[in-house]
Structure 1
Amino acid sequence: MTRTPVAADETGRVRELDELNALESLLEPDFQAIAISAAHVCRAPIALVNLVAENRQYVKGRAGTDLTGVNPPVPFCDLAVAERELLEIPDTRDDPRFHDDPIVTGPPRVRFYAGAPMISRQGNALGTVCVMDRRPDRLDDAQRQTLRTLATHAVTLIELHGRAHHAEEVVRRLNALEQLKNQFLTRINHELRTPLTAIRSYLELVQDGGLDEATERRFLQGVERNSDRMLRLVNALLLMASLKAQTATFSPARVDLAELARQAVERSAPAAEFKHLALNLHASERVEVWADVEQLCSALLQVLDNAIKFTGRDGAVDVVVVSDPAPGVEVHDTGIGVESDDLRRVFEEFYRAPQAEEEAAEGTGIGLSIVEKIMEMHGGTARMENELHDGVCVHLTLPRSSVPPAPEGRSGDRRRADTVGPQ
């Protein structure tokens, strides 16, 4: 048996089959009808509408057989796909390429084959519409033309089904995004209304008078605390908008990552002390990177805020500065953890993991999205993984480079934007 040549467009056509979602649903009625028509017109007992990808044949329609898939593919179909034109073999036993192939020497003992390739609009041969018989045969011109026409109809259906699938996926994603946005707006309303209500209550009590000096000072501190909370939220929203529009300030310079981490830990210490958490910094050496100090500090503060927020009383948060295999910061906590399916989604805009909802934790669902965008601005990455026992670890990784990164679309852009602390 001669080795069947590989199609010149192998990579492209396999990719298109995947993009069209063509291999997911098989044996569809429309393709069954095409196979039956091919068998009838060509007076053949067996007909297939099949796709060929990655050494396997996927049957979309069939007549006279119970095949649903063949591995490896029928060699005749492979050749028709590779040559991209109608292939007709009047007697396989007389063809040196196939006379000793198992499909010829053993069941179903194919003696006749004719197959027309299905050429997509992108120019890829996706599969064939073919007929087979257990005895030698030959098609006439009208039958050949009909077989080509049926192949054209089949690939058109595949493309239409693919577009319909894409449309359904877009609608699904838009609906999911709309739901997330509605949840976000609800949370924003809560995050703004709660501190505003507190501020108003404190001010009304102070204005009513009759308070001792210590109580009045405590109420004014409450006003300041809630005002800061609102300011951080507004700054976060502004920063998110500027990051998405690629107008956020980006002024990289040589930065000692260990020193930056130390400053972030010091700023987060009061929140950790309030919950009796152990906040530890592990940075034994200088780690030099190119970074925008304010932006990178904002990202680190956000990660620390999340770790403190979701770690129970008397837990621990460890900040580790690493230099190998790439410079970065790891933030480990002993908190509530995140389900494996949500580890990637936590960086999506507006998304909050179910654990955060169950804990009724403060936040808008944009903090980690901001972190990821800041790291991308630096040419780095942000990822989260579960710890072996409890909690999660967030990895902020920067490129090892002797020159500052130049993010796409930011050439010469040094405009200022509001920075943001933890949310």
Structure 2
Amino acid sequence: MAEAPAASDATERTQELDELNALESLLAPDFQAIAVSAAHVCGTPIALVNLVAEDRQYVKGRAGTDLTGMNPPVPFCEHTVAGRRTLEVADARADPRFRDDPIVTDPPRVRSYTGTPMITSQGNALGTVCVMDHRPHRLDAAQHQALRTLATHAVTLIELHGRAHQAEEVVRRLHALQQLKNQFLRNVNHELRTPLTAIRSYLELVREGGLDEATEKHFLQVVERNGDRMLRLVDMMLLMASLNAQTATFTPARVDLSGLARQAVELSGPAARLKGLSLNLHALGRVEVWADTEQLCTALLQVLDNAIKFTSRGGAIDVVVTAGPEPEVEVHDTGIGVESDDLRRVFDDFYRTPQAEEQAAQGTGIGLSIVEKIMEMHGGSARMESEPHEGACIHLTLPAPRGGPTVPGPAGGRVAADEAGSGPEYQKKK
């Protein structure tokens, strides 16, 4: 038995089968009807409509057999797909390519085969419409034409079903996106209205007068704090828009990742102390990366803000900088964690986890999305590992600096947000 020739479009075929969702539903009525018609027109006891992908054959329609799939595929069909034209074997026992194959020597003891490839509009041969007999058999011209017509009909159905599935998926995604946008608008409305209401109320009290100097100063500080909150939100939305439009400034240079992480930890220290959190940096030396200092610092601050927001009072946040082939910052927290189903969505635009909604946590769902976009701008990546109620770890990975690997520097040690060198030693999570 000779091996089937390798199909030139094997990779493209598998990809298109996946795009068309063709392998999700097998033995569909439409394809069953095509198989029955092929057997009837060609006067054979067996007919198949089948797809070939990744060394396996999938049956979409059948007549005269209970086959649902074969691994490896029937050699006749492999040859048909590879040859991309009709294959007719009048007597398999007389053909050295097939005479020793189990499908010929053992039940169902196929003696003759005729198959036509199903070639899509993209030019990939997805599979075959074929007929088989237990005796030597040769089709006439009319039967050959009928088989080609049925193969064309079958591949058209596959493409139509695939496009329908893609359209349904697009509608589903648009609906989900609309829901996210609606949620985003509600969140923005809340995030803007709350500080605006506070600003207006405190300014009215100040304008009415009669306040002692200390109270008036306190009220003005509240106004300033809420104004800063609004400004940060506007800045975030503008940054999100520029990242999506790929117009954000990007001026990379050699940067010490450890120093940048230390700066972010120091800036986040007051917020951590306000919640009684332990915030520690673990960076053993200088780690050089090729990065835009301002953008990367923004990403680090967003990740730290997220960790602080979802870590309960008394918890801990550890920032770990590692060198290696790909420099990385890991931010571990002991917060509420994220369900596994939500992990793939936490970096989506406007997405907020159910836990964030339940806790009515501040935010618009764009923080981690901004982080991912900034990392992609650098040629790096962002990912999260988490278990519910067991905290989360966000990994920010960057490429090594241009012109060489990471350059080690003097030992940097660990810096805590509240006091340098304080706090327990941290063991990196595996």
Matched AA of 1:258: S
CA contact (8 A) 2:339 2:387 kept: no
Amino acid of the structure 2 residue aligned with 1:163: R
Report 1:16-95 matches (<5 A): 16-95=16-95
Residue 193 (structure 2) pairs with residue 193 (structure 1)? yes
> Any idea what the Cα deviations from partners look like across 1:273-321, whole Å, max 9, x if unmatched?
1101111111221122222211111111111111111000011111122
Distance 1:159 1:136 in 2: 34
Q: Who is 2:104 aligned against?
A: 104
How many Å separate the matches in 2 of 1:53 and 1:261? 48
Distance 2:57 2:257 in 1: 54
> Are the equivalent residues in 2 in contact too, given 1:35–1:62 (CA < 8 A)?
yes
Matched, 1:306 2:302: no
2-side partners of 1:53 and 1:283: how far apart? 48
Code of the residue aligned with 1:119 in structure 2: it is I
2:341 maps to amino acid = D
> 1:387 touches 1:393 (CA, 8 Å); kept in 2?
no
User: Once structures 1 and 2 are overlaid, which stretch shifts more, 272-281 or 211-220?
Assistant: 211-220
The offset of 1:211, in angstroms, is: 2.0
Aligned position for 2:413: none
CA distance in 2, matches of 1:4, 1:253: 54
Count of residues in correspondence between the two structures: 404
Kindly state the Cα deviation for residue 208 of structure 1 after the two structures are TM-superposed.
2.0
Q: Distance in 2 between matches of 1:251 and 1:131?
A: 64
Cα distance, 1:19 vs structure 2: 1.5
Moved more, 198-207 or 225-234: 198-207
2:417 — aligned with what? none
Which runs of 5 or more residues in structure 2 are unaligned?
A: 405-430
Task: Report if aligned partners of 2:288, 2:400 keep a CA contact under 8 Å in 1.
Answer: no
| Deviation, structure 1 residue 151 | 0.7
Partners of 2:263 and 2:107 lie apart in 1 by 75
The one-letter code matched in structure 1 to 2:96 is P
Moved more, 385-394 or 309-318: 385-394
Question: Compared with structure 1, are the counterparts of its residues 21 and 94 closer, same or farther at alpha carbon in structure 2 (3 Å cutoff)?
Answer: same
Displacement of 1:385 in angstroms is 1.0
Q: Secondary structure at the match of 2:238?
A: helix
Aligned equivalent of 2:337: 337
Cα distance in 2 for residues equivalent to 1:3 and 1:378: 47
Residue 411 of structure 1 is matched in structure 2 by: none
CA RMSD of aligned residues (A): 1.5
Partner of 1:232: 232
- For residues 162-311 of structure 1, the aligned pairs below 5 Å read 162-311=162-311
More displaced, 284-293 or 187-196?
Answer: 284-293
Correspondence for 2:323: 323
Identity %: 78
Q: Is the 8 A contact 2:17 2:23 kept in 1?
A: yes
Aligned partners of 2:309 and 2:361 also within 8 Å: yes
* 8 Å contact kept, 1:290–1:403: no
Deviates more, 1:245-254 or 1:152-161: 245-254
Amino acid at match of 2:313: R
Structure 2 CA distance for aligned equivalents of residues 75 and 246 of structure 1: 50
Q: For residue 168 of structure 1, give the secondary structure of its aligned residue in structure 2.
A: helix
CA-to-partner distance for each residue in 1:58-94, whole Å, 9 max, x for gaps?
1111111222112221111111111111111122222
Q: How far did 1:387 drift?
A: 6.7
Q: Which runs of 5+ in 1 are unaligned?
A: 405-423
SS in 1 for 2:271: helix
CA distance in 2, matches of 1:403, 1:253: 12
Task: Give the Cα separation in 2 of the matches to 1:59 and 1:158.
Answer: 13
What's the TM-score once normalised by structure 1's chain length?
Answer: 0.92
Aligned equivalents of 1:294, 1:116: Cα separation in 2: 60
Return the TM-score normalized by structure 2.
Answer: 0.91
Q: CA deviation at 1:171?
A: 0.8
1:259 Cα deviation after fit: 1.7
Letter in 2 for 1:340: S
Q: What SS class does the counterpart of residue 346 from structure 2 fall into?
A: helix
Q: Which amino acid aligns with 2:233?
A: L
| Counterpart-to-counterpart distance in 2, 1:46 and 1:92 | 15
Question: Partners in 1 of 2:8 and 2:295 — Cα distance?
Answer: 48
Which secondary structure does the structure 2 equivalent of 1:346 belong to? coil
Structure 1 residue 401: Cα displacement:
2.1
Question: In 2, Cα distance between the equivalents of 1:55 and 1:127?
Answer: 12
Task: Please state whether the residue corresponding to 1:347 is helix, strand or coil.
Answer: coil
**Given that residues 317 and 334 in structure 1 are in contact (C-alpha distance below 8 angstroms), is that contact kept between their aligned partners in structure 2?**
yes
Partner of 1:415: none
SS at match of 2:385: strand
Contact 1:375/1:382, CA 8 A, preserved across alignment? yes
Name whichever of 333-342 and 323-332 sits farther off: 323-332
1:227-267: CA deviation from partner (whole Å, max 9, x where unpaired):
11000000000111111111111122222222211221111
Distance 2:70 2:283 in 1: 58
In 2, distance between residues paired with 1:24 and 1:273? 53
Contact kept in structure 1, 2:335 and 2:389, CA below 8 Å? no
CA distance in 1, matches of 2:256, 2:344: 29
8 Å contact kept, 1:91–1:111: yes
Shift of 1:388: 10
What's 1:362 paired with? 362
Rounded to whole Å, the distance in 1 between the matches of 2:137 and 2:255 is 78
How far off is 1:403 after superposition? Answer: 5.5
**Separation (CA, whole Å) in 2 of partners of 1:148 and 1:156:** 12
Deviation string, structure 1 residues 167-207 (Cα, Å, up to 9, x no partner): 11111111110110011001100000011111111111222
What secondary structure, in the 3-state scheme, does the structure 1 residue paired with 2:318 have?
Answer: strand
CA displacement at 1:379 relative to structure 2: 1.4
Q: Whole-Å Cα distance in 2 between the matches of residues 250 and 56 of structure 1? A: 48
Partner of 2:58: helix, strand, or coil? strand
> Which residue of structure 2 aligns with residue 119 of structure 1?
119
Shift of 1:125: 1.2
